[in-house]
Amino acid sequence: MSISIAGVTAGYGRDRAIVSDIDLTINTGEVTVLIGPNGCGKSTLLKTIGRLLRPRRGSIHVDALDVLASDPKRVARAIAYLPQSPIVPTAITVQQLVGYGRAPHQSLLGLASPRDLELVDAAIATTGLDDLRHKSVAELSGGQRQRAFIAMALAQDTPYVMLDEPTTFLDIRHQMETMELVRQLHDAGRTSIVVLHDIAQAARYGDRLVVMHAGRIVADGKPADVVTPDLLQAVYGLNCLVYPDPVTGTPVATPLA
């Protein structure tokens, strides 16, 4: 099973295309991290894969499922998508929020089955939110709130999970906790597509890096093969020293004066 993206061009309104002629295959069992400068099209690509934005041309398939032609609920049973800044409903508890992840699997009445309750409990446990399940989402810290939304995506029980900048606005500890959770999803058999800005973080947690620039993919491969001084100069306009992280051995980039 894989996500196949072929010739996708997408944008907003009548403006120019934000992503152009994207060909990409997301392999099952990998953590694929999209990196690149602001405005390069990373978030636009995720929205297009998740069917929140309809492309001007191109096709997207999850195995045999035609994402663009299929029922939205069917697509939501294959791909869970967590945007950059998800809207927090007022007066809703963590357990209720996580329960929303079961909506694609329920009838119009929205009645929870024993299986729904089981998956909600499992998602809450996996994200370490047992003690907070009855607390209002609005009262949570940034890190706790992010875990609650990831739990909602986890309860959706999809083979693919897409996270758009999940570490934004989090302190370093909560960033690490969030990315460790992504690796836990990987170990549990989920395939993740994550947008990150921190290159060292992307290299540490990603099996594969896809680098975007000006709406196109300019590099794709293992972190050690992708993160090079020449690529960083071409994509970010920065002269960088690249060296292995002393703990993980994955590449770290430090801009030079």
Is 186 within the bounds of a domain? no
Is 239 within the bounds of a domain? yes
Name the residue with higher pLDDT: 229 or 16: 229
Whether residue 61 is found in the same domain as residue 103:
no
Whether residue 197 is found in the same domain as residue 88:
no
Q: With a threshold of 0.85, does the pTM exceed it?
A: yes
DSSP 16: P
Tell me what pLDDT residue 192 has.
95
Whether residue 150 is found in the same domain as residue 86:
yes
* Residue closest to 132 by CA, chosen among 96, 86, 168: 96
Write the pLDDT tens digit of every residue in 10-68.
998 777 789 999 999 998 999 999 999 999 999 999 999 999 999 999 999 998 899 99
Reduced to 3 states (helix: H, G, I; strand: E, B; else coil), residue 5 is strand
Whether residue 20 is found in the same domain as residue 141:
no
Whether residue 220 is found in the same domain as residue 149:
no
Number of domains in the chain: 2
Is 16 within the bounds of a domain? yes
Whether residue 131 is found in the same domain as residue 196:
no
Write the pLDDT tens digit of every residue in 186-196.
888 889 999 99
Domain residue limits at 137: 82-157
* Residue closest to 102 by CA, chosen among 122, 130, 83, 86: 122
Place 91 in a pLDDT band, splitting at 50, 70 and 90: confident
Is 184 within the bounds of a domain? no
CATH label of the domain that carries residue 233: 3.40.50.300
How far apart, in Å, are the Cα atoms of 55 and each of 25, 27, 105, 212, 252?
17, 22, 26, 17, 35
* β strands within the chain, DSSP E: 2-11, 17-27, 31-35, 57-62, 65-66, 79-82, 160-164, 191-195, 208-213, 216-221, 240-244, 251-255
Whether residue 133 is found in the same domain as residue 217:
no
